[in-house]
Structure 1
Amino acid sequence: MWSSPKIRCRVGGWHEASSARLTVVTARTSEVIARAASLDAEARYWQGTPNDLALPDVASGSDPYVASPGYEAFVGRERRTNRLLVDISLSYHDGRFQVGGNVAAGHRRQGYGREALGMVCVIAHRHLGIAELYASCEVSNDASRRWLASCGFAPTPGPPRITLSNGRVVEACWWRHVDRAPRLRCRNDVWAERICR
């Protein structure tokens, strides 16, 4: 579905891919903090972000990448302005590789989310060797449903309810994206534990 962007990869789980408008890269802790702090009420509601969300402290000068076995956070920056517009997570949860994320307020419905998720899917399928990706959203979240469908995800069976981080239980719909020819090219140990099981 997507053209294959060039994927850059470094030891420790760092990945980067670019489109004409966006660069998607493994997030640093400070970028995760910046995106979490800038979430608007709509994003907080749909994602179930707690009001008292505890954010890590990077005052020590350390600003590590957010990548560990079975989890990687990505951010999408607009190439022209370097603005942080999108966050996408890739995680291994309940026996499935799952993706999720959102686009900054004021930049939604402009294709940024589709571009960013498309690049993360290419990284997952064609670099990490993951054949199937799953996503869930609240049944009434029309924007997420449109976003996933526009990226080639198709409805699939899954748990009918999910519990969000703030404890809210919601009716869920599940989506799946399949690559019939995944390729494992990544040499990072950070993903090997989950992929090569």
Structure 2
Amino acid sequence: MVWSVMRRRRAGSQLPMPGQCEPGVGRHVLATERLLLFTPRTRLDVAAALAACADAEAQRWLGTQADEVLPDPATRRALLAWRPAGDDGRRVPRTLAQPYAPGPDDPLLLVCVRRSGLGYAGAVELDRRAGELGGWLAPACRGQGLGAELFRAGAALAHTHAGLSTVRAGAEPGNTASRRALVLAGFVPDEGRPRHTLPDGRVVEAVWHRHDSAAASRCR
């Protein structure tokens, strides 16, 4: 890792567009061929990002802290069935419609939606201090080549929005899907600590990849 009553509008009319970053308040927008990624605007966006990675398959690799995992499959499916900020014309529950404001020291979290259909697809997260990137896809979006797009967007976030010349990503040796997606996104093998502690406290073996840019910059 939001609701207000909104009139029905054309699908997508409320979504942020690339070029509409607000770095002063920590908001960014990127796009790939099939994905739109943006800083969460509501609690719904954050909840959907967490729902996208709460299943057992994802948690095998991510090890999210227990208080951030949504254990109920029905709740996860319900959250992922929404469209951001009620852009499909439905009323968003008031609790979920509340605005989300990233903290100044928080990692950069971008929720992503599919540009066709506007369904929630996953998220990417950048730790600017460590220069490390993570990301995940919702169950319905896996196995379609979207992982490479997600990590390409993450590299762009690091290089052209956060001003990092190098960004690194780690994965377990057995996580072949993520490692393949990183390679397709232009990441190359890198040296790094052989073991990594996940947020839930598990210690796992790790292999590392990096992505470099000679022209790092920050968005305006």
The answer to whether structure 1 residue 126 and structure 2 residue 126 are counterparts is no
Matches within 5 A, 1:13-162: 13-28=26-41, 29-38=43-52, 39-53=54-68, 59=95, 62-66=98-102, 68-69=104-105, 71-93=107-129, 96-162=130-196
Q: Deviations over 1:83-115 (max 9, x none)?
A: 11021001135xx31110111112112122222
Distance, in Å, in 2 between the alignment partners of 1:138 and 1:146 is: 12
Q: Which amino acid aligns with 1:127?
A: H
Distance, in Å, in 2 between the alignment partners of 1:33 and 1:64 is: 11
Shift of 1:185: 3.5
Q: Is the 8 A contact 2:51 2:69 kept in 1?
A: no
> So what's the TM-score if we normalise by structure 1?
0.79
User: Would the alpha carbon gap of residues 128 and 167 (structure 1) be closer, same or farther in structure 2, given more than 3 Å must change?
Assistant: closer
Q: Is the 8 A contact 1:14 1:67 kept in 2?
A: no
Shift of 1:77: 0.6
Q: Deviations over 1:53-80 (max 9, x none)?
A: 378xx93863214353362101111122
Question: Which protein is bigger by CA-based radius of gyration?
Answer: 2
- Structure 1 vs Structure 2 CA RMSD: 2.4
Q: Which amino acid aligns with 2:105?
A: P
User: Would the alpha carbon gap of residues 143 and 61 (structure 1) be closer, same or farther in structure 2, given more than 3 Å must change?
Assistant: closer
User: Would the alpha carbon gap of residues 35 and 183 (structure 1) be closer, same or farther in structure 2, given more than 3 Å must change?
Assistant: closer
Bigger shift: 22-31 or 99-108?
22-31
Distance, in Å, in 1 between the alignment partners of 2:133 and 2:144 is: 20
Which runs of 5 or more structure 1 residues have no equivalent in the other structure? 187-197
- Give the structure with the higher percent helix: 2
- Give the structure with the higher percent strand: 1
Which runs of 5 or more structure 2 residues have no equivalent in the other structure? 1-16, 71-93
Shift of 1:51: 4.4
Distance, in Å, in 1 between the alignment partners of 2:142 and 2:156 is: 21
Match of 1:12? 25
User: Would the alpha carbon gap of residues 17 and 54 (structure 1) be closer, same or farther in structure 2, given more than 3 Å must change?
Assistant: closer
> So what's the TM-score if we normalise by structure 2?
0.72
Runs of 4+ in 1 over 3 A off after TM superposition: 50-55, 58-62
Q: Is the 8 A contact 1:137 1:145 kept in 2?
A: yes
Q: Which amino acid aligns with 1:35?
A: A
Q: Deviations over 1:132-176 (max 9, x none)?
A: 001111121111111111111111111111111222110111111
